Amino acid sequence: MGGVNPYIKPAEATLPTNKYRVTFLPDGKVVEVDPAKLPYGRNGLAGSILDLAHAAGVKLDHSCGGVCACSTCHVIVKEGLETCNEATDDEMDMLDEARSVTTESRLGCQCVPDGTKDVVVEIPSWNRNLVSEEE
Ligand code: FES
């Protein structure tokens, strides 16, 4: 899926201008983000954690296709949260529906690191999509 949610104000984000790395926990899979290749796919904001997860072959659930209309892409940004765009009110509203939210919680489809620092992201066990989907 993928697309635009016409009912929300689009999130603002600064895309990276240099390569950086994202580590996905618990598996420890690492993706080196190349700004020249963004977006990698069609789900979520360009350069979002969801976009990067798919590039790394990491399964992250995304029931609404990455348009900030569910909370299935909930992730916890363990390191580098300060390099990510600010969460919008719409994202915070959706996060209210997620399980076990922490102060480091974000929606993977709306969270875009700017590449000034490497990032470590934990995907909660209930958000790991065990079924491969066609992109
Ligand atoms: S995939 Fe639905 S809010 Fe991110």
Distance from the CA of 95 to the center of ligand 1, in angstroms?
A: 10
Q: Which of 4, 5, 52, 67 to mutate to test the pocket of ligand 1 (most atoms within 8 A of CB)?
A: 67
**pLDDT interval class at 135 (50, 70, 90):** very low
State in Å: Cα 43 to ligand 1 middle.
Answer: 9
2 C-alpha vs ligand 1 centroid, how far in Å?
10
pLDDT given for residue 127 in this prediction? 72
Q: Where is 90: in which H helix or E strand?
A: helix 89-95
Residue 53 has pLDDT above 90, yes or no: yes
CA–centroid distance, 81 to ligand 1, in Å, is: 18
Residues 25, 20, 113, 53: what is their CA dihedral angle, to the nearest 10 degrees? -40
- Return d(Cα 127, Cα 73) in angstroms, integer: 6
Q: Counting atoms of ligand 1 from 1, which one is nearest the CA of 109?
A: 4
Give the model's pLDDT for residue 56.
Answer: 86
Q: Tell me which amino acid residue 111 is.
A: C
For 54-71, write each residue's pLDDT tens digit: 988 999 999 999 999 999
Q: How far is Cα 52 from Cα 49, in angstroms, rounded to an integer?
A: 5
ω into 6 cis (within 30 of 0): no
* Ligand 1 first shell, C-beta below 6 A: 62-64, 66, 68-70, 72-73, 94, 107-109
**Band of the pLDDT at 130, cuts 50, 70, 90?**
low
Q: Dig out the tokens for 31 from the structure.
A: 């993706």
Express each pLDDT in 68-109 by its tens digit: 999 999 999 999 999 999 999 999 999 999 999 999 999 999
Q: Which amino acid is at 101?
A: V
CA 65 to chain centre: 12
Distance 72 CA to ligand 1 centre (A): 6
pLDDT confidence of residue 81: 98
